[in-house]
Structure 1
Amino acid sequence: MSDKSEQTSTEQMVIDIVYSAIEEINNDLPKGRQVGTSVDTILFGKSSILDSLGLVNLIVAVEQQIEDELDVGLSLADERAMSQKSSPFRTIGTLVQYILMLLRETGIAN
């Protein structure tokens, strides 16, 4: 398997994990307040459907799914994430890229 296909595979796995966590969160939300599953879906900021508690719940669900699926514990909402100039929680896409960066640092992803 080439590095590119491995990277794509890891990226797709992370996207699937995030979407699964969103599905879990959506089960507790009313129909009109459910989070979409697109890399452009806004998770944090004025246009977000999630309030601060909803975002925290999503982050915890993603962390748990990463641990379950990849057997690695990541802390997504730490000082590093909060000090970023652009929030890694802005959209699903930025969250996925942030997770991939953390996984690369642990040696899980290339």
Structure 2
Amino acid sequence: MENSIKKNILQLLNNLSDEIPELKTANENTKLYNGFGGCLDSLALVSLVADLEELLSEEFDKEIILADEKMMSARNSPFKDV
């Protein structure tokens, strides 16, 4: 399941690579959020998380919520990398 989720994240990042060229070579160590040295601003991160929630909800046929207010402001954010 973990590999499937990583594959979905990398697929979504690849879809963004036309707008953000740094994502063409994204891998599981790619830094995401620019607050942590990544290439996504807050709006792009929210969009990525929303797209990923939708994709995973469809794949696993369950409602999936990846972000809430606490996660988005956490010091050790789960969104700093893939």
Asked if Structure 1 and Structure 2 have the same fold, meaning a TM-score greater than 0.5 normalized by the shorter chain, the answer is yes
- 1:54-65 matches, cutoff 5 A: 54-65=44-55
- Stretches of structure 2 that go unaligned for 5 or more consecutive residues are none
Residue 25 of structure 1 is matched in structure 2 by 16
Question: CA 1:87–1:13 in 2, change beyond 3 Å: closer, same or farther?
Answer: same
1:24 offset after TM fit, Å? 2.5
- 1:47-86 matches, cutoff 5 A: 47-82=37-72, 84-86=74-76
Residue 39 of structure 1 is matched in structure 2 by 28
- Cα distance in 2 for partners of 1:23, 1:12 equals 16
- 1:10-21 matches, cutoff 5 A: 10-21=1-12
- Cα distance in 2 for partners of 1:35, 1:63 equals 22
Letter in 2 for 1:42: K
Number of residue-to-residue matches in the alignment: 81
- Cα distance in 2 for partners of 1:85, 1:46 equals 10
User: What RMSD over aligned residues (CA atoms) do the two structures have, in Å?
Assistant: 2.0
* TM-score with structure 2 setting the length: 0.79
Letter in 1 for 2:15: E
Structure index of larger Rg: 1
**Paired residues of 1:21 and 1:65 also in contact (CA < 8 A):** no
- Cα distance in 2 for partners of 1:35, 1:86 equals 25
Letter in 1 for 2:11: S
* TM-score with structure 1 setting the length: 0.62
**Paired residues of 2:36 and 2:80 also in contact (CA < 8 A):** no
- Stretches of structure 1 that go unaligned for 5 or more consecutive residues are 1-9, 93-110
1:46 offset after TM fit, Å? 4.4
